[in-house]
């Protein structure tokens, strides 16, 4: 449905036109339904209060998403999550270290990631894969999902994330490693097995 510029700028249409998108965007980043709803509501209120500043150089959805991004960052800052090495809510297990061989960073053959059969671009176009990915990210402890999403989905660089979350670069890489390791496991169980059943 094509929406006129006048309708798009009308705040009474924002919830219908952009509410679901903004909610999904927030939920992927905070993993809590109520917090995501609150962040979207705060976004709409902030946008309403600063509508005079909207110059029309971007789409309303892009502008609202920018406001929501700042709200999410503020949420992380206010919460003052402690991102220490062992505070991600998951106890370290021998499996965390046994996946790799004697060469640092090299997978043991039996633990190497499975071939998913598709390029990453093709997977991101697959709605079923994206639903599973969102669910797997939502199942991560908040500390892990926050760092993973900031880095891999929102494109923040190491320096920005470390400053934002007050963590060291080595701490960041440990958190990212754990997040990727858990996501890989979750996706292999939920996605690869689903693909095998469908063949």
pLDDT at 125: 65
Q: Which two tokens stand for residue 141?
A: 């402890």
pLDDT at 119: 54
pLDDT at 134: 87
Render pLDDT for 80-120 as a digit per residue (tens, 0 to 9): 554 444 444 444 554 555 555 544 445 555 555 555 555 55
DSSP string, the chain: ----HHHHH-GGGHHHHHHHHHHHHHHHHH--HHHHHHHHHHHHHHHHHTGGG--SSS-HHHHHHHHHHHHHHHHHHHHT----TT-SSS---HHHHHTB-SSTTPBPGGGSPPP-SS-HHHHHH-HHHHHHHHHHHHHS-HHHHHHHIIIIIS---HHHHHHHHT--HHHHHHHHHHHHHHHHHHHIIIIIHHHHHH-
Please give the domain boundaries of the chain with CATH numbers for all domains.
5-79 (1.10.1740.10), 94-198 (1.10.10.10)
pLDDT at 111: 56
Q: How far apart are CA 26 and CA 68, in angstroms?
A: 8
Torsion, Cα of 136, 139, 141, 146 (10° steps): 50
The ranges of the chain with pLDDT < 50 are 1, 82-91, 94, 102-105
pLDDT at 104: 47
pTM of the entire predicted model: 0.67
């Amino acid at each position: 449905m094509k929406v006129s510029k006048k309708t798009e700028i009308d705040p009474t249409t924002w919830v219908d036109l952009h509410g679901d998108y903004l909610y999904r965007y927030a939920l992927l980043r905070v993993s809590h339904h109520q917090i995501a709803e609150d962040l979207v509501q705060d976004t709409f209120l902030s946008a309403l209060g600063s509508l005079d500043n909207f110059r029309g150089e971007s789409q309303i959805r892009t502008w609202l998403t920018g406001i929501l991004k700042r709200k999410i960052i503020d949420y992380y800052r206010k919460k003052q999550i402690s991102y220490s090495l062992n505070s991600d809510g998951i106890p370290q297990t021998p499996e965390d270290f046994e996946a790799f061989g004697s060469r640092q960073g090299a997978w043991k053959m039996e633990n190497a990631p499975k071939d998913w059969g598709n390029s990453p671009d093709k997977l991101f176009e697959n709605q079923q894969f994206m639903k599973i990915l969102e669910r797997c990210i939502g199942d991560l402890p908040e500390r892990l999902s926050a760092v993973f999403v900031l880095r891999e989905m929102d494109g923040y660089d190491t320096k920005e994330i470390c400053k934002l979350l007050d963590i060291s670069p080595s701490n960041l890489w440990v958190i990212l490693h754990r997040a990727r390791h858990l996501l890989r496991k979750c996706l292999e169980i939920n996605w690869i097995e689903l693909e095998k059943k469908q063949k």
